[in-house]
Amino acid sequence: MAVLEFQITGMSCDHCAKRVEEALAALEGVSARVSYAQGVARVETSGPLDRGRLLRAIEQAGYGAREPVGDDGGRLADHREELSLAVVGSGSGAFAAAIEAASRGARVTLIEGAEVIGGTCVNIGCVPSKILIRAAHLAHLQAHHPFTGLSRRTPGIDRAALLRQQQARVEELRHAKYESVLASHPNIRLVRGWARFAAERTLVVRDRQGAESEIEADRILLATGARPRIPDIPGLAQTPYWTSSEALQAEKVPEHLVVLGGSVVALELAQAWLRLGARVTVMARSRFLSREDPALGEGLAAVFEEEGARVMLDTLPSGIRHDGDRFVLATPAGELRCDHLLVATGRRPNTDGLALEKAGVETDLNGAIRVDDHMRTSAESVYAVGDCTDQPKYVYVAAAAGTRAAINLTGGDAALDLSVMPAVVFTDPAAATVGLDEAEAARRGIETDTRTLGLENVPRALANFDTRGFIKLVAEADSGRLLGAQVLAAEAGEIIQSAALAIRNRMTVDELAGQLFPYLTWVEGLKLCAQTFRKDVKQLSCCAG
């Protein structure tokens, strides 16, 4: 019986120790006890001692190992502590990767050219937009709530005060989730500047004064995000239009806001400003939410018009100018004038300044970096995550990809499974999706059976006097296995995760219909919709099982 110990690097909890222990115990003739507190693995082998086999097992579990010198002739074997990793960007994907890699013994250099760290989500995206949307929702309820026994009133809007509160929370979260995290990891250093490749493992970083320096690394992770895509409309570039950044930081409510776009950012901000008192016109090149089930976009377009917005589908201006006071848009319906114009027609990856060709990193036609499910690019030493890649453009995808990329960069093996990916548009009602819709299932050659339940059949919606929307379930015709869900409802974002879990666990609609759901909840609508595959729910009692 041979006994030896390894120092384990990269563990962050007792669960990590358990993973190392299981990886070693899976080897024939090997037993192991691993202590997270001590950072030590004690290994016993009943057969011939093969240190290389033990070290490889630890590395494949995603951790590093150092074998101390001992009487048995062992020698120092540190496989990852000296690994250097350069991460370009400082958003959610970049930070998730940096933290994970640092915990696994890597030396990490974060490279960021922007004035603040944290990327889009916390600074100019998810966080400020949801604060604006929530404030607008409360303003709307004051004037338009459905309860006859409560007085309604037009709310007073102090946009400057709202903005101060919004930005204070942004700064608070940026400090808590990024700046202080960086300060607590001594093996992560921040370099200010804009990076480009000189070779596959060499970056040139230019600071704000124009000075350049080189950074060499064993591995490089790209997490450079994306920026607004501006359509090529004659005259637009010469006008003071807004992107989402300016729209979120505006100090006054517009008199008349025209929004170009029909997808997530356009619709969320259009409705928010409408509810804060602006006159709003939305112009979409095709329809609302053109990549989703048409019923979602149709339902939202009806809501927007009901709330007073002008909706112009299949329309984009043929020309735009600014006369010094107002925007003038040339449209098929005639000239349209407004005091503010928000361009929200999509985003493009921040890859054009990286000199990717010098590293052999391939992109698609839109400039997005091609990655596989391990976040590997076409260059062996370069990985990429987040909005600069061809993966879905969601912050939670970027963060999950960052963690997995770090595991892979430091010797582990972690794939990102995007087969069940919920998504939410934070309008009111919200639009949420997961899995396949009918059209996508048909493209894959899958025969489906679907049901759509109007919210007038959901007790929570009736109790709230808000029956706008529906729940739609898509099932495989033969097996009844749930393939997808599309939801338009006030709490669609809270409903959709239950559908995601049902799809992940390969549940059938009958199994979903048989689950216990609390009464009265919005998510109970999933159960009711599942029941419609076999029953007429209008003939059931309120909480029939």
Domain at 2-66, CATH from 2.30.30.100, 3.30.420.40, 3.30.70.100, 3.30.1330.10: 3.30.70.100
Q: Which fold is adopted by the domain 84-147+155-228+348-409?
A: FAD/NAD(P)-binding domain (3.50.50)
pLDDT on residue 137: 98
What is the tens place of the pLDDT at every residue in 128-147? 999 999 999 999 999 999 99
List all residues 6 or more positions away from 368 whose beta carbon is below 8 Å from its beta carbon.
Answer: 349, 351, 388, 389, 390
Helix, strand and coil percent figures for the chain, each rounded to 5: 35, 25, 40
User: Is the pLDDT assigned to residue 543 strictly greater than 90?
Assistant: no
- Tell me what the pLDDT averaged over the chain comes to: 92
pLDDT on residue 335: 96
pLDDT on residue 60: 81
Q: How many angstroms separate the CA atoms of 77 and 67, rounded?
A: 5
Closest CA to 526 of 489, 478, 479: 489
What is the tens place of the pLDDT at every residue in 81-137? 469 999 999 999 999 999 999 999 999 999 999 999 999 999 999 999 999 999 999
Residues marked as catalytic: 11, 13, 16, 63, 121, 126, 542-543
CATH node for 423-539: 3.30.390.30
Q: Which residues pair with 456 in a beta bridge?
A: none
User: Is the pLDDT assigned to residue 363 strictly greater than 80?
Assistant: yes
What is the tens place of the pLDDT at every residue in 331-358? 999 999 999 999 999 999 999 999 999 9
Question: Is 527 or 9 the better-scoring residue by pLDDT?
Answer: 527
Instruction: Identify the helix (H) or strand (E) that includes residue 136.
Output: helix 126-144
Q: Which residues pair with 190 in a beta bridge?
A: 110
Instruction: Identify the helix (H) or strand (E) that includes residue 488.
Output: strand 482-489
Q: How many angstroms separate the CA atoms of 385 and 374, rounded?
A: 10
Q: Do domains 84-147+155-228+348-409 and 236-345 have the same CATH topology?
A: yes
Q: Is 173 exposed, middle or buried (0-12, 13-18, 19+ CB in 10 A)?
A: middle
pLDDT on residue 36: 67
Instruction: Quote the CATH superfamily of domain 236-345.
Output: FAD/NAD(P)-binding domain (3.50.50.60)
Residue 64 confidence class, pLDDT cut points 50, 70, 90? confident
The domain locations on the chain are 2-66, 84-147+155-228+348-409, 236-345, 423-539
What is the tens place of the pLDDT at every residue in 392-442? 999 999 999 999 999 999 999 999 999 999 999 999 999 999 999 999 999
